[in-house]
Structure 1
Amino acid sequence: MFEQFFYQEKGLFLQSLHPAAALTYLGILFVLALVFTNPLYLLGLLLVVVLAISAARGLAVWEIYLRLSVGMMLPVIIVNALLAHAGETIIWFGPRLPVFGRLTVSLEAICYGAAMSVRLLAIISIFCLYNLVVHPDKVLSLLARFASRSALVLSLATRMFPAMIRQMENIQEVQMVRGVDFHGGTLKERLPRYAALMNILLLSSLEDSLEIAEAMQARAFGSGRRSCYRRDTWRPRDSLCLGGGVLALATAVYGQAKGFSTFSFYPQLDYLVKGPMTLILLIIIILSLSVPVVLSWGWQRCPCFNAKI
């Protein structure tokens, strides 16, 4: 069940990007999600992220993230609507409470909570996209060029949890073949079975740590200059995706500086569209961020296109 939350090699276009290009693109998405306040821009950014997740064949995984996000989005909207008193368009007057004062619900507070919920969903979706397209070892290999020992510690730490999950599932399957029932009986009867499972998992993890230490010693880790087993090649596809992300970021900075992409919720709701430039900049940002999605579409349908990029 947990396997789908970890990186899986599928031979997709987004997974073939250089780790630096992929991280920069995802970083730009993350920065824009934090900067934008206009609901139209947040929805456009969320649309691009969902399209990228679809190109990475991760919609089934994203649905799980969506369910978890909705569980957080609704409390954000409700709590903000009840506790924020800065809006002028009051749509409901409630009772007076000792600490919070009189409860009021304003249209501005509801809209602000809804916009922040969309931002939260966009950020969670970006992390979902990261898990789908970025190999953790490639990311840490970038850090290893500057801090090899720290990169090794991070690599071992990030691989520990998924490796232990797989190992626990394997041990549990072996125990079930031998007749151990982890689901039958009362809680008191099941606890000793899970305790034995944890004991086996601990012993297996200690053995794995010894094997890793022996492998590091056999390969003379720390005895000299670090060698590189594999080098990632920078290709035209990386430049195209990076260029699209940089163009989107520059357009967003211009829109924020000129006020075309900004939006204020309090004390009264601002205009969503402040002239044609608001829509023009939004279209430019969406098209620029959609470059990896378009290239992924061409990657799947044109073999000649694959060799050129």
Structure 2
Amino acid sequence: MGKIKKVNNFHVVTIILIFTVIMFMVFSSDNPMVILSTYILTLGITIFTKSYRKLFNGLFYFAPFAVLIIIANLIFVTQGSTTLFYIGSKKLTLESLIYAIVLCFKFLAVIYLFMSFQLMIDSDKAVSYFSSKMPKSTLTLMLIFKLIPGLKNKFYSLKEIYTVRGVDFKVGDNKSKVKSYSEVMTVLLESSLESSFDIGEAAFVRGFLSNKRSVYERESLGKKDILLIISSLLLIIIYILSKIMGFVTFEIYEGVNISNIFNAATILILSMICYITFLICIFSKEVYFGLHRD
């Protein structure tokens, strides 16, 4: 019997708080130690769930953007005291290269964070929770998410129908191509409006939002959620205080100070993220063919 592990044993609020705290740290800091610390959470979740393919997929999407970031930063940023070489009159400095590498690591951290967020959160639980708190906004978002792929499928279906009828979308000048596609878009717009009216009528007939929604399985914060929430709040407090006091400040163009990379504050932040990752792994459920086993 095969065993599949998933990180889906937590309250929606807990997962969103952890994700928000780590994301805030990534966006607000250029300290390499802080950024690398955030990889502990993403790598821990990926290894625990054995989703190694996501790591390679992240690198696949990251590689071309990393090249663009490094090239753009080297070309347009000339600050720094250590000159590597000149391209014409353009000075390329070591500091701009280091800053570009830091930006690349931040970008990759964001990619991995979203992948980890997908592994951590249960979409059904998230929809159920937000539907009970913000029913109108949740319904609107769900309809939007449904609309985009639906329009795409209808567009290709209509295009095939018009092709069978003899319309060639590749022949002619730009004016004739626009005219051909305008007919498809007109039918697509009419179909979308009809679908919208059908959805609105169905919601009205069923009395949607006419009274308070029934919640059949209300989630509550457990001990594991409270422990993770306290740990996440403690982490963000430590980080903000360290940033205010200058312990995690990393000004590349003003000179790199090793004491701002490796100090008590950055080590404490690393330890807290390791602790949160450990809690997530030990409190997660095992799944046997889609059935949870505590």
For 1:1-309, what aligned pairs fall within 5 Å after superposition? 12-96=5-89, 103-161=90-148, 212-213=199-200, 215-271=202-258, 276-278=263-265, 280-295=267-282, 299-300=285-286, 307=294
Structure 2 alignment gaps of length 5 or more:
165-169, 172-183, 288-292
Deviation at 1:148, TM superposition (A): 2.2
Q: Whole-Å Cα distance in 1 between the matches of residues 122 and 100 of structure 2?
A: 34
Cα distance change, pair 147–73 in 1 and its aligned pair in 2 (3 A): same
Cα distance change, pair 120–231 in 1 and its aligned pair in 2 (3 A): same
Tell whether the 8 Å contact from 2:4 to 2:286 is kept in structure 1 after alignment.
no
> Given residue 239 of structure 1, which amino acid in structure 2 is its aligned partner?
I
Q: Whole-Å Cα distance in 1 between the matches of residues 108 and 186 of structure 2?
A: 39
Deviation string 1:103-128 (CA, Å, 9 cap, x unpaired) is 11111100001001111111122122
Tell whether the 8 Å contact from 2:81 to 2:95 is kept in structure 1 after alignment.
yes
> Given residue 84 of structure 1, which amino acid in structure 2 is its aligned partner?
V
TM-score relative to the length of structure 1: 0.71
Tell whether the 8 Å contact from 1:51 to 1:293 is kept in structure 2 after alignment.
no
Deviation at 1:145, TM superposition (A): 4.2
Match of 2:180 in 1: none
Q: Name the % identity.
A: 22
Q: Secondary structure at the match of 2:106?
A: helix
Greater than 6 Å deviation, 4+ residue runs = 197-208
Q: Secondary structure at the match of 1:290?
A: helix
> Given residue 74 of structure 2, which amino acid in structure 1 is its aligned partner?
A
Deviation at 1:54, TM superposition (A): 3.4
Q: Secondary structure at the match of 2:96?
A: helix
Cα distance change, pair 135–205 in 1 and its aligned pair in 2 (3 A): farther
TM-score relative to the length of structure 2: 0.74
Q: Whole-Å Cα distance in 2 between the matches of residues 130 and 26 of structure 1?
A: 7
The structure, 1 or 2, with the larger RCO (C-alpha pairs under 8 Å, 6+ apart) is: 2
Q: Whole-Å Cα distance in 1 between the matches of residues 210 and 265 of structure 2?
A: 58
Tell whether the 8 Å contact from 2:249 to 2:260 is kept in structure 1 after alignment.
no
Q: Whole-Å Cα distance in 1 between the matches of residues 198 and 43 of structure 2?
A: 41
Q: Whole-Å Cα distance in 2 between the matches of residues 199 and 21 of structure 1?
A: 45
